[in-house]
Structure 1
Amino acid sequence: MSRRSLLKGGVAAAGIGAAATVPSTFFAAQAQATSASFRHGIASGDPLPNGVIIWTRIESGGNDVDVRWDLSRDDRFESIAASGTATATASSDHTVKIDVTGLSPATDYWYRFTVQRTDQVSPTGRTRTAPAADADLDRLRFGVVSCSNWEAGFFSAYRHLAARTDLDAIVHLGDYLYEYKRGEFGGRDGVVRQHDPEHEIVSLADYRTRHAQYKTDPDLAALHARLPFICTWDDHETANDAYSDGAENHTPATEGDWHARRAAAMQAYLEWMPVRASGSGRDAKLYRRLRFGTLAELSMLDLRSYRSEQVAPGAGWRSVDAADRSITGAAQLDWLTKGVTTSPTSWRLVGNPVMIAPLVVPPLEPATTAAVTAALGIPQSGVPVNVDQWDGYTADRRRLFGAIDADSVDNVVFLTGDIHSSWAADLPLDAATYPAGKTVGVEFVVPSITSSSPGDFLKAPPRTAAIPAETAITSINRHIRYAELDSHGYGVLDVTPAAAQMDWFYVTEVGDPNAAVRHGASLATQSGISRLQSRSAPVPQ
């Protein structure tokens, strides 16, 4: 069952961001003031203690363009910290991406680009470097987002995040854009605005055009101008339910070789996104790790490039337990496991594109139900609801959870997107024995920015038909502490030495470009506990 079919079927940081005092209207105005040469705005990403990526794209009529970039300690550019020149060429779709180094830790910087021939100046962006590795921090706060489908609605959630002055960065967990042809995957109200190009994107030119369209959204542009992004991709940056050798939404007979399509998608992604990948071309690696003082380390995963093909439902269910099936690939799983179990920071955060908490019907205890599951041909721990998640690759999850348990690691927090709905879960070693057994961490799943939620597919008024499904899910899977299947919005993760708390915020209507926002729920895990507790209110801004 594809993930889309599943959705249809059912269902101010002390020491880091305290200097971010410029009003959000500045960044909104900057985004709107983009000159003809800079219609795709500016962006920054992947902050390090001594560096950060800055990005833009030049409208040049196809010609090479020489560009000057400046990075300053003030927004008037009177104290230049770094500067240089670059040439925007057709080979990179006239994008300019600079990995600026030699900077000071935990410092606000302002940046801009200038076309040297015409003196046209880009909007001004603000970014911030990460704190030094040995810095003791009182707080870290991220906006956490996923799944922004242009056709399904407006990106008001980005606008509300840009209005905040207490965030240190935006963690984007994937599906930054969608590959579908025009009209194929709208929202509750149908197609609110149309994709370019009209057809499903397959070629390098197609992916570049779609990236370019998304970068013109004013709310996304304002958020990029205000904060550095830390991004990974999920499947729609290539094609729905992608795996290492193909995708559910890829037909070789009409769409060509999968690896050529993936290479085109990767090239466009690396051109248009402010990410610091290792390697280049088809060998580029998106999984990477960023550190924020002694408080937290963030491991960003790529769960599409190396995974085995998803199993078929029904007869194929039993094979989700096969030891040779992987969602990460061996090298990435080894990298992740070593990073999580040896990190010297207080918190170990994992940017995880698809849900890792078990979601099965019902949870079974393998030691006592082996004979039954073998006879029925179902997985050892129960029938998975969605095999595109870690539930379809249980051997990898057992290896990772087993290593966390064996090394007595605590304060592991998975940050997840993908399923267009909100969830919070304790992560049990054995879901069938929860709450009596061990837990190895917690998971926070954020909703979509606009992409259709399970509740949208029900075509019922919000907070009506989805509620019984939520109750059933949390009753059967007791480790799942919160499920909200209707709403769209974002999360804000607050991390202190004492606790990590996720606050969910929901926009009133994705079809309204002026949508308001409300607080939805808050849950937290205290240091050393690896269990969730409800909170009555979000952390104050």
Structure 2
Amino acid sequence: MLDNNEITGVSRRGVLRGSMVLAGAGLVAATTTGQASAQAPAEGSAPGFFHGVASGDPLPDRVIIWTRITPSGDALPGSGVGQVVSLSWQVATDSEFTNVVRSGTASTGPDADHTVKVDVTGLRAGTGYFYRFTALGLTSPVGRTRTAAAEDADLTALRFGVVSCSNWEAGYFASYRHLAERDDLDAIVHLGDYIYEYGPHEYGGRDGSPRLHDPAHPIVSLADYRIRHAQYKTDPDLMALHAKVPFIVTWDDHESADNSYLGGAANHDPATEGDWGARKAASTQAYFEWMPVRVNGTGSEPALYRRFRFGNLVELSMLDLRTYRDEPASAGAGWRTVDSPDRTITGREQMEWLTGGIVTSPTQWKLVGNPVMIAPVVFPPLDRNTTAAVTELVGLPDDGVPFSTDQWDGYSADRRRLFDSITGNGVRNTVFLTGDIHTSWASDLPVDAANYPGSGTVGTELVVPSVNSTNIDEMLGVPPRTATVLAEEAIKTTNRHVRYVELDSHGYTVFEVNKQGAQMDWFYISDPADPNATSRHAISYRVADGTQQVHPVAAPLDPAGYHPGAGA
């Protein structure tokens, strides 16, 4: 008999490590990849807009526009020095700015790390705009953005790029470049791990790569986080994408520290890195300074979870699954801890906000920007009606042994609360868009995993690969599509609701919602270590209206067949 405390939780990437175990029989000789990469361009000593421009959080009548001005050679990110600067900004309907529709001034200085964020109001719904900033006799690059459709618009289609997990040291950001080359996206949904907090060579870097993290140590202070955000904003592919399309973002854990939760993080040592609350506050401040995001709430604790409406077609709820969660189950905690109704991943207020929004939304589709995987991934799922004695004897939760208690699997009571709200109110067309685990998945969300498909489904989940963060083949040191194929088949066999899983490839996705269904296309890049990496369409899955199930489709979405705003 297994003692209840002998089955212990694992980190958020336990699903990856568990897959390595399943893949063990297929191990082959290790191969070394990763070519030297060029360092991002350094800032000059003269004033300039060295970090580009960005926009985000589109609403029907407003959008955030952002930049950073470097007024002098010593006023670098995180320096805390430099003059206060007055900037002018303009929003126009044309790239030549002959028809300026909104303009104004803003000031910034060391208190905001010389970043500027303007919530431009009074705009037309479902409309494309151009924007720019001027200061100190200089003009920023021109950015493009778009407002959301009016809430009463009979929108027929909406198309997003969806990404997650970009690590400076793991190679280049070719996924961002390929998305920036498209002209068929209304927005980019970034599901977290926009930056990584580790020092050089500490996590998922490539041998010989000169793309090393700055500062050259794990980031802890406000200055550290500012410097790291600034470094990522100098990547030319990320800069190009920010200048092309508005972003809708949330954070996962690496924006603060790996496996973070309400009271700490696995990658935080109070003895050497100080108080967790101070570190979390520093990461939060830098994030809101450097990202084109609107703060939700007016209290002392700014809230990141928020909701976006696109006509009568889509409502998108972006979650924060790090700030309010209880500590993930750890060694010795026991699986009854995982199943405890007192444990939460969302926090009570966010759960009420989420369920209330989903069950009352008047839109056809309910999308959830979900930083960590919600589909149960367990070994084995046991039928609670016929094996209750077994599950009680060995101390397994009803839903089986999860690969990773850092995901919703580690907070199963919260997941049941959410799923019960959806099914109890007869809600259809709920799709979770998920990042975090660096791999690609398409799953039905079963009411009861052990009785799938007979128990029915709550919704569906589509998980995006990492932009470039380390995957199974790289952890094992084997060629792609060798050892991991065994793991993928084992996962699908054990978890029948998982219809697609791919554990090796990096890339991005394009996701469209229309009145007939929702479709995600997965695109994989040839090599993260290659700054000129190519992209290929790998697979597509579609959820037909009202079905709550994913099915493969042969053809990807046509880039030429959709134009932003054309569906309004």
Aligned residues: 520
AA aligned to 1:291 is R
| 1:480 correspondence with 2:489 | no
Q: Tell me, yes or no, if the aligned pair for 1:33 and 1:123 is still in contact at 8 Å.
A: no
Residue of structure 1 equivalent to 2:539:
521
Kindly indicate whether the alpha-carbon contact (under 8 Å) linking 1:188 and 1:456 is maintained by their aligned counterparts in 2.
Answer: no
Q: Give the counterpart of 2:90 among 54, 70, 83.
A: 70
Match of 1:91 among 91, 111, 121: 111
Name the SS for the 1:136 alignment partner: coil
TM superposition shift of 1:148 = 0.2
Aligned CA RMSD, in angstroms, stands at 1.7
1:47 matched residue in structure 2 = 58
The aligned residue for residue 7 of structure 2 is none
Q: 1:416 aligns with which of 399, 409, 434?
A: 434
**Aligned-residue identity in percent:** 61
Deviations 1:134-178 (A, max 9, x none): 101121000000000000010000000000000000000000000
Match for residue 3 of structure 1 among 2, 9, 12: 12
> Normalising by structure 2, what TM-score?
0.89
Distance in 1 between the 2:475 and 2:500 partners?
A: 20
Q: Check the 8 A contact 2:14/2:403 in 1, yes or no.
A: no
| 1:17 match | none
Contact 1:141–1:169 (Cα < 8 Å) also in 2: yes
Query: Quick one: distance in 1 between partners of 2:283 and 2:42?
Result: 28
The Cα offsets for residues 238-297 of structure 1, whole Å up to 9 and x where unpaired, read as 000000000000011111111111000000000000011123685100000000000100
Distance 1:167 1:215, change over 3 A: same
Amino acid in structure 1 at the alignment position of 2:133: F
Aligned to 1:151, the other structure's residue is in SS state helix
Structure 2 matches for 1:92-491, cutoff 5 A? 92-115=112-135, 118-187=136-205, 189=207, 191=209, 193-279=211-297, 283-313=301-331, 316-491=334-509
TM-score when scaled to structure 1?
0.94
Q: Which runs of 5+ in 2 are unaligned?
A: 1-9, 21-40, 76-81, 560-568
Which amino acid in 2 is paired with 1:106?
G
Residue by residue over 1:74-103, the C-alpha shift from the partner in whole angstroms, topping out at 9 and shown as x without a partner, is: 110011111000111111111000000011
Q: CA deviation at 1:188?
A: 5.5
- d(CA) in 2 for partners of 1:421, 1:169: 22
**Partner Cα separation in structure 1 for residue 307 and residue 145 of structure 2:** 19
Residue number in structure 2 paired with 1:20: none
CA positional deviation for 1:317 = 2.4
- CA shift, 1:365, in A, is 2.5
Q: Deviation of residue 313 (structure 1)?
A: 4.5
Structure ranking higher on relative contact order (CA contacts 8 Å, 6+ apart): 2
Q: Is the 8 A contact 2:18 2:403 kept in 1?
A: no
SS state of the match for residue 509, structure 1? coil
Tell me how far 1:314 sits from its aligned partner.
6.1
Cα separation, 2, equivalents of 1:370 and 1:302: 34
- 409-418 or 454-463: bigger deviation: 454-463
Gaps (5+ residues) in structure 1?
A: 12-30
Offset, 1:383? 0.4
User: Match for residue 16 of structure 1?
Assistant: none
The one-letter amino acid of 2:345's match is I
Report deviation, 1:369: 2.7
Cα distance in 2 for partners of 1:172, 1:344 equals 25
Alpha-carbon offset, residue 459 of structure 1 = 1.1
CA–CA distance in 1 between the matches of 2:533 and 2:337?
45
3-state DSSP of counterpart to 1:367? coil
Contact 1:243 1:305 in 2 (8 A): yes
In structure 2, relative to structure 1, the CA distance for the partners of 1:83 and 1:464 (3 Å cut) is: same
Look up the equivalent residue of 2:542 and give its one-letter code.
Answer: A
- What secondary structure sits across from 1:396 in the alignment? helix
